[in-house]
């Protein structure tokens, strides 16, 4: 299991600077990193990916700066190792797909819609020598993207969850899930997943600490015949949820 020397997942800033000396210009007089700066966040998370997980991750200049620790903790809530898995929307880092392949020894397929993100994802997969099969999405979620007849033990995603565009760092495709609470994309995903899961298979969704959003997805899941489990976990200073829906 990946750990750091204090037994907790993470990386002291001083050790991150040793890996990426250019981080030093983003430190204040007390040695604290300016996390409001995008380049500083990218370099720090690249350092964590390398030091803690042994991964070399390239970030797109305008994509979401995904944090390795939160993604790893999410995967640990539902992967045991060796499963056949599908990630919906792997993004430009392909970080979770790579972790599933290299850290959990899974047979991985992953989808991505955006052309530039797809290219970045493929480069990250190749750079890390991960066995991940990439599937180009045409705007679909699972149907029309994944060949009919394929079945998976787990389908997982960090889905878009805003109901409307935001002014943050997320692009509209990354951020807007639609619906009253941002649940529309996730609900469609769990509906389509029914035809692609093995008996006893499950869907896992990486979600923010937004009760109405989680409640709306969970309610639809139960109506579709899933059993639903919500695992709340803390990554850094933020709470996150792994919503696990099992057949």
The model's pLDDT over 177-200, given as tens digits with 9 standing for 90+, comes to 555 777 999 999 999 999 999 999
pLDDT tens for residues 29-78? 888 999 899 999 999 999 999 999 999 999 998 888 999 999 999 999 99
User: Of how many residues is the chain composed?
Assistant: 247
Q: What is the residue-wise DSSP string for 16-66?
A: HHHH-GGGGGGB-TTS-B-TTSHHHHHHHHHHHHHHHH----PPPTTS---
Domain residue spans in the chain? 13-53, 68-246
Nearest to 183 by CA among 146, 156, 155, 208: 208
Classify domain 68-246 at the CATH class level: alpha beta
What's the chain's average pLDDT? 90
* Token pair recorded at residue 149: 């007849």
pLDDT tens for residues 52-66? 999 999 999 888 899
Q: How confident is the model at residue 10 (pLDDT cuts 50, 70, 90)?
A: confident
* β-strand partners of 176: 162
């Amino acid at each position: 299991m990946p750990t750091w020397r204090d037994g907790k997942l993470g990386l002291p800033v001083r050790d991150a600077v040793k890996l990426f000396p250019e981080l030093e210009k983003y430190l204040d007089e007390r040695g604290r990193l300016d996390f409001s700066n995008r380049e500083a966040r990218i370099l720090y998370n690249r350092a964590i990916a390398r030091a803690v997980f042994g991964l070399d991750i390239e970030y797109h200049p305008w994509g979401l700066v995904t944090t390795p620790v939160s993604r790893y903790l999410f995967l640990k809530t539902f992967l045991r190792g060796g499963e056949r898995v599908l990630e919906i929307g792997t993004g430009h880092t392909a970080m979770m797909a790579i972790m599933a392949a290299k850290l959990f020894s899974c047979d991985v397929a992953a989808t991505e819609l955006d052309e530039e993100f797809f290219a970045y994802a493929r480069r990250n997969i190749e750079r890390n020598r991960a066995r991940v099969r990439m599937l180009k999405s045409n705007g679909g979620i699972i149907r029309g993207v994944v060949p009919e007849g394929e079945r998976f033990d787990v389908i997982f995603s960090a889905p878009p969850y805003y109901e409307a565009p935001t002014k943050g760092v997320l692009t509209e495709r990354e951020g807007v899930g639609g619906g009253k609470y941002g649940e529309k994309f996730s609900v469609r995903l769990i509906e389509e997943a029914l035809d692609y899961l093995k008996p006893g298979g499950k869907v896992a969704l990486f979600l923010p600490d937004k009760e109405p959003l989680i409640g709306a997805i969970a309610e639809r899941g139960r109506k579709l015949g899933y059993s639903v489990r919500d695992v709340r976990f803390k990554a850094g200073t933020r709470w996150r949820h792994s919503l696990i829906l099992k057949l």
